[in-house]
Amino acid sequence: MKEDLFNLLALQEIDDAIQGLQHSIESLPEVIKQKERRVEEKESLLDEKRANLKEVLKLERSKEREIDEIRDRIVKHERQRLEAKTNIEYQTLTHEIEVEKSKILEIEEDLKLVWERMDALEHEIKELEAETANAKNMLEQEKVQLLAKRKEWEDELDKLKDKRKRLLPHIPELLLQRYERIRKNKGGKGVALVKDNVCTACGAEVPPYKIAILKSYREILTCESCGRILIWKED
Ligand SMILES: [Zn+2]
Domain identity same for 181 and 144: no
Domain identity same for 66 and 85: yes
Distance 102 CA to ligand 1 centre (A): 87
Q: Give residue-wise pLDDT tens across range 162-191.
A: 999 999 999 999 999 999 999 999 999 999
Range(s) of the domain holding residue 221: 174-232
Cα gap 223→230, rounded to integer Å: 6
Q: Give residue-wise pLDDT tens across range 4-17.
A: 999 999 999 999 99
Report phi then psi at 198, rounded to 5: -130, 155
Burial class (CB in 10 A: 0-12, 13-18, 19+), 189: buried
Q: Percentages helix, strand, coil for the chain, rounded to the nearest 5?
A: 80, 5, 15
- The number of folded domains in the chain is 2
Distance 221 CA to ligand 1 centre (A): 11
Domain identity same for 185 and 112: no
Domain identity same for 65 and 180: no
Is 203 inside any structural domain?
A: yes
Distance 230 CA to ligand 1 centre (A): 8
Distance 208 CA to ligand 1 centre (A): 15
Domain identity same for 83 and 193: no
Domain identity same for 155 and 42: yes
Residue type, position 219, single letter: E
Domain identity same for 217 and 122: no
Report phi then psi at 193, rounded to 5: -80, 150
Residue type, position 131, single letter: E
Q: Give residue-wise pLDDT tens across range 104-161.
A: 999 999 999 999 999 999 999 999 999 999 999 999 999 999 999 999 999 999 999 9
Distance 195 CA to ligand 1 centre (A): 11
The CATH number of residue 42's host domain is 1.10.287.1700
Distance 183 CA to ligand 1 centre (A): 12
Domain identity same for 36 and 134: yes
Distance 34 CA to ligand 1 centre (A): 37
pLDDT at 234: 84
Domain identity same for 160 and 201: no
Cα gap 22→216, rounded to integer Å: 36
Residue 34 neighbours by CB distance under 10 Å: 9
